[in-house]
Amino acid sequence: MATLAPAPTVRPRGSLSVDGHHEPCVIVIFGATGDLTHRKLIPALYNLAADGHLPENTALVGFARRPLNDQQFQTDIAETAAQYARRPFRPPAVAAFADARYVQASFDDPSGYQELKRVCAELDRRYGIRGNRLFYLATAPSAYTTIVQQLEAAGMIRKGAGDGPGWTRVIIEKPFGHDLPSARQLNAELAAVLREDQIFRIDHYLGKETVQNILAFRFGNRIFESLWNRDHVAHIQFTVAESIGVEGRGPFYEQTGALRDMVANHMLQVLALVAMEPPVTLDADAIRDEKVKVLRAIPPFTTQEVEQRTVRGQYGPGMVQGTVVPGYRQEERVDPSSLTETFIALQLRIENWRWAGVPIYLRHGKRLPERTSSIAIQFKRMPKLLFSRGSQESLAPNVLTLRIQPDDGISLRFNSKVPGTGMEIQPVEMDFGFCSLGRPAAEAYERLLLDAMSGQQALFIRHDEVEAAWAIVDSIRAGWAHLPLPQFPNYPAGTWGPPEADALIGRRGFRWLVPQPANQQGAYAPA
| Catalytic residue annotation | 266
Domain that holds residue 294: 206-443+460-526
DSSP 444: H
Q: Are strands 315-316 and 491-492 parallel, antiparallel or unpaired?
A: parallel
The reply to whether 30 and 167 lie within a common domain is yes
Give the CATH number, domain containing residue 394. Answer: 3.30.360.10
Answer whether the bond into residue 88 is a cis peptide, omega within 30°: no
Rounded CA separation 29/58 (Å): 13
Identify the pLDDT of residue 21. Answer: 55
Per the document, the length of the chain is: 527
Alpha-carbon separation of residue 136 from 165, 169, 171, 186, 217 (angstroms): 20, 9, 5, 16, 31
pTM over 0.75: yes
Residue-wise pLDDT tens digits, 42-97: 999 999 998 888 888 899 999 999 999 999 999 999 999 999 998 888 887 777 78
Rounded CA separation 401/413 (Å): 8
The reply to whether 225 and 311 lie within a common domain is yes
Identify the pLDDT of residue 391. Answer: 44
Q: Tell me the average confidence (pLDDT) per consecutive run of 10 residues in the chain, 527 residues long.
A: 39 44 88 95 93 90 96 94 88 80 97 97 92 96 96 90 80 94 97 96 89 88 92 97 92 94 94 95 93 97 97 97 95 96 98 97 97 95 66 74 88 84 80 68 88 94 97 98 95 96 96 66 46
The sign one gets for the Cα dihedral 452, 269, 298, 181 is negative
Identify the pLDDT of residue 415. Answer: 83
Q: Is 200 helix (H, G, I), strand (E, B) or coil?
A: strand
The reply to whether 165 and 214 lie within a common domain is no
Give the torsion through C-alpha atoms of 505, 510, 514, 517, to 10 deg.
-170
Within-domain flag for 11: no
Identify the pLDDT of residue 519. Answer: 45
The reply to whether 490 and 344 lie within a common domain is yes
The domain boundary residue, chosen from 173, 197, 218: 173
Within-domain flag for 144: yes
Identify the pLDDT of residue 365. Answer: 97
Identify the pLDDT of residue 13. Answer: 41
Rounded CA separation 292/313 (Å): 29
Identify the pLDDT of residue 92. Answer: 76
DSSP-assigned beta bridge partners for residue 315: 491
Number of domains in the chain: 2
The reply to whether 261 and 356 lie within a common domain is yes
Q: Are strands 360-365 and 199-202 parallel, antiparallel or unpaired?
A: unpaired
Rg (CA), the chain: 24
Identify the pLDDT of residue 119. Answer: 97
Within-domain flag for 483: yes
